[in-house]
Homo-oligomer: A and B are copies of this chain.
């Protein structure tokens, strides 16, 4: 067996996984239709409903990563020629446009500068103008560390009769969600961020009216694997074979969800907020400054502008990240797209949202700088 080095994973995900979750995944296998496994799956679906804040029957761990969850939400709701409006505040909003266009949708977009929020006023105007079938945006933009104002945008979309698709990849289990109260029709997340599981599953949830709309489509969903009307055969009450669920990954997720609920979502969210505040306080004296204004910062993921002194070192900011990894075993993330070379993305997610990790990072940085 390859022995991998120990890492403190403070990038944009994956985050570190508890020994309890790893042990749950490493149990001897049972079948995907075994009553003992189906009982675990029942529990996972119920606990995901609690964390999403929903009564949606169609709440399940999709058998692929978060990007497939994005695709599932969009391709179920969109048919060729349907109009979709996407709020683009970073890479993942941009990815939504690409996914929707591949499904044959007419895509319009509201772009804001990376690091800024989608302002509800302009979003509402764009919705009124384009009358889309679907409005899609990212709750917690992992490429910038911005927390978007969900409620006002979702209300404007619902008022205009649109379905609302929300990306909660970096918010689920890091902050309280209330997708039913917010009026969200389709939501997706990933397991490798605040849930502190390995990557490989995408928790998703669809409202009853979204499921009805998918059942009433003129043509079948383009993807057999992601078609929620087929997935409901296995993830609904009937437990009928569709594909073979990733049993070990679901066992790990079950254990992770128990840990989240044992801690309590409010306490967990407070822990994430406190860790993020201590990170900013620790790194500002070194010249790192937050990209995002304080009220819109996403506690699980902080984006920091890299100071000129670091960018101008031999090897630049990437060289410093490499030194952190190789000499201190600490992973932090660089910027994506237009922010490459300009920001660091530091995740304090799930098990890692603790001040001790900030202190370890600070100590390593002080040695290197």
**Chain A residues in the interface with B (C-beta under 8 A):** 1-7, 9, 11, 13-17, 20, 22-32, 34, 36-37, 39-40, 43, 63-68, 71, 95, 98-99, 101-103, 190, 192, 198-200, 220-225, 241-249, 251-252, 254-255, 325, 331, 336
A192 to chain B, nearest CB (A): 6
Q: Which of B2, B5, B24, B71 is in CB contact (< 8 Å) with A254?
A: B2
Chain B residues near A22 (CB-CB < 8 A): 25-28, 248
Q: Tell me if B26 and A14 are in contact (CB < 8 A).
A: no
Bound Cα distance A244, B24 (Å): 21
Verify B28–A26 contact, CB threshold 8 A. Answer: no
Complex interface: chain B residues within 8 A of A66 (CB): 243-244
CB <8 Å contact, A246 and B25: no
Q: Is the CB of A4 within 8 A of B37?
A: yes
* Given contact pairs A29-B198, A65-B245, a sample of 12 additional A-B residue pairs in the complex whose CB atoms are under 8 Å apart: A2-B39, A4-B28, A4-B37, A4-B40, A5-B34, A5-B36, A23-B26, A25-B248, A67-B225, A102-B220, A199-B247, A223-B223
Residues of B within 8 A of A222 (CB): 102-103, 222-223
Q: Which of chain B's residues has its CB closest to A95's CB?
A: B224
With most chain B CB atoms within 10 A of its CB, the pick from A6, A43, A247 is: A247
Contact B199 A32 (CB under 8 A): yes
Closest-by-CB residue of B relative to A249 is: B200
Closest chain-B Cβ to A168's Cβ sits at a distance in Å of 15
A200 touching B248 in the complex, CB below 8 Å, given contacts A20-B1, A225-B67: yes
- Which residues on B sit within 8 Å (CB–CB) of A99? 224
Query: Do B247 and A249 have beta carbons less than 8 Å apart?
Result: no
| Chain B residue at minimum C-beta to C-beta distance from A5 | B36
A221 vs B75: C-alpha distance when bound (angstroms): 13
Expressed in whole angstroms, the Cα–Cα distance for A14 and B9 within the complex equals 31
* 10 cross-chain pairs, A with B, having the tightest CB-CB distances, nearest first: A200-B246, A26-B26, A198-B248, A64-B64, A67-B243, A199-B244, A22-B26, A68-B225, A99-B224, A7-B30
Q: Looking across the interface, which residue of chain B has its beta carbon closest to that of A64? A: B64
Please give me the residue from chain B that is nearest to A104 by CB atom. B222
A–B complex contacts, Cβ < 8 Å, 26 sampled: A1-B255, A4-B40, A4-B251, A5-B30, A7-B28, A14-B31, A14-B247, A15-B29, A22-B28, A25-B26, A31-B331, A34-B325, A34-B331, A63-B64, A63-B68, A63-B199, A63-B200, A64-B64, A65-B243, A67-B242, A102-B220, A198-B246, A198-B249, A200-B249, A222-B222, A249-B249
Residue of A6, A9, A98, A192 with highest tally of chain B CB at under 10 A: A192
